[in-house]
Amino acid sequence: MTTAMLADLIRPAGRRAGEQSNFPVYSVTKHSGFVPSLEYFRKQVFSRDVEGYKLVEPGDFAYATIHLDEGSIGIAPERGLISPMYTVFRANESLVDADYLIRFLKSPRALAHYPQLGKGAVHRRKAISLAALGSLPIPLPPLAEQRRIAAILDWADKIRTKRRRIVGHLDALVDSVFMDMFAAKDFDAINGGTLMPSMRNGLSPATAGGHSATVLTLSSVTQGGFDPEAKKVGQFAAEPPADKRVSRRDFMMCRGNGNRSLVGVGTYSREDRPDLVFPDTVIAGRVDTSLVNMDYLEVAWRQQDVRSQIEAIARTTNGTFKVNQQTLSAVVVSVPPMDLQLVFAERAASVLVRRQTVTRALNHDDELFTSLQARAFRGEL
């Protein structure tokens, strides 16, 4: 199998939309690639003043310039608009199969290479330019073999996609139980600072350091439930302290994101994980469980009345929406009596058990898929 530099296989693409605004707006996600923004966020979170957006054509690749290390890259299914935060290019189809290339660019082998390509003052948010990405070496078998590999990986990935849909349906079922019990009812309104009297930011790896530790990526808290498999190994200047490690007593919230609907989202781990450090892009709040049940808080925090408050207080810096400990402390949550919270937790428990079962199976699928990818790009498939 030969190797080629990505720069030799692609060319820049995407242009400013200008007045061509009557096209669907897309987001580029870790798991699903291009997704209509209205479908992904279930409501409009982008401005319809999209003159500054980029126009993409079917087959164009686009990646999140500061989130490529998480696999946020995809191929446009149709002509559409994307935020200027994305970088766009097009593959030379006479040299590389697009489906093969996207599979490699989302593979662990490529993801491990991306941190070496980024530039920026903060480790987590290093931007990767197209010129830098062009230096990525691509294993390049003949086109027919590329298509065979892509077809096998596509088939395997469909199994993971089906399980993710099941997880989404289970989350919707829990939300339905929540709405039946608590919607349009007058309960105590308690602010986040009272429910979580002790908040703290996490710790992200340094560009150099003598202490190695496993740190969560931001997607560990932004994809629905807590995902302990969204992690990477990082170097730290000193051994990360205990209060920067995952505890089942902490509610973890996204401190900043390029998408307004993801900033401030929260979840928690059902077990202590002292082996995992949470990054400085996450705020952990130690929950006062005499006031609020953790399962109740997790679901209440994602309801529209809470989300509206968070999105209203988020401030944008260089295209990133941000919240902090002070602003999250002011968010008000409707809190029913504890006996009702416990009834909800009990009703939701069977669904949560099912979700955990499906999630474990999904994690197993992910491990098998990772192994399959490694073999494919070593020429052993």
- For residues 139 and 371, the answer to whether their CB atoms sit within 8 Å is no
Q: Within this chain, do residues 330 and 202 fall inside the same structural domain, yes or no?
A: yes
- Per-residue pLDDT of the chain (381 residues), as tens digits, is 899 999 999 999 999 888 777 899 998 988 788 998 765 544 444 445 577 889 999 999 999 888 788 888 999 999 999 988 899 999 999 999 999 999 999 999 999 899 888 865 444 457 899 999 999 999 999 999 999 999 999 999 999 989 989 988 998 999 999 999 998 889 999 999 999 999 999 998 887 778 999 999 988 998 878 989 888 898 998 999 999 999 999 999 999 987 788 899 999 999 999 999 999 999 999 999 999 999 999 999 999 999 999 999 999 877 788 999 999 999 999 999 999 999 999 999 889 889 888 988 988 898 899 999 999 999 998
Residues 11 and 106 in one domain: yes
Q: Are residues 327 and 204 in the same domain?
A: yes
For the domain that residue 60 is a member of, what is the CATH number? 3.90.220.20
Query: Does residue 119 sit in the same domain as residue 55?
Result: yes
Q: Looking at residue 236, what is its pLDDT?
A: 92
On whether residue 378 sits in a domain, the answer given is yes
What residues make up the domain containing 263?
Answer: 188-335
> Do residue 28 and residue 56 come from a single domain?
yes
Residues 328 and 286 in one domain: yes
Domain co-membership, 206 together with 326: yes
> Looking at the domain assignment, is residue 130 inside a domain?
no
- What pLDDT is attached to residue 1? 81
Residues 6 or more apart whose CB falls under 8 angstroms from that of 70 comprise 30, 64, 111, 217, 218, 219, 230
Q: Among all chains, which residue has been given the structure tokens 């400085």?
A: 280
d(CA 98, CA 39): 25
Domain assignment present for 135: no
Residue 358 lies in a domain: yes
Do 146 and 207 fall within a single domain?
Answer: no
Residues 263 and 209 in one domain: yes
Residue 136 located in a structural domain: no
Query: Nearest-CA neighbor of 232 among 354, 112, 341?
Result: 112
Can you read off the two tokens belonging to residue 322? 């941000």
Mark whether 210 and 326 lie in a shared domain.
Answer: yes
* 3 state DSSP class of 328: helix
- Whether 133 maps to a domain, the answer reads no
Q: What is the pLDDT of residues 159-170, one digit of tens each?
A: 998 998 998 899
* 214 three-state secondary structure: strand
Is the residue at 182 inside a domain? no
Q: Count of domains in the chain?
A: 3
Q: Check whether residue 100 and residue 163 sit in a common domain.
A: no
Q: What is the pLDDT of residue 48?
A: 52
Together in a domain, 201 and 159: no
Is position 251 within any domain?
yes
CA distance 280 to 220: 13
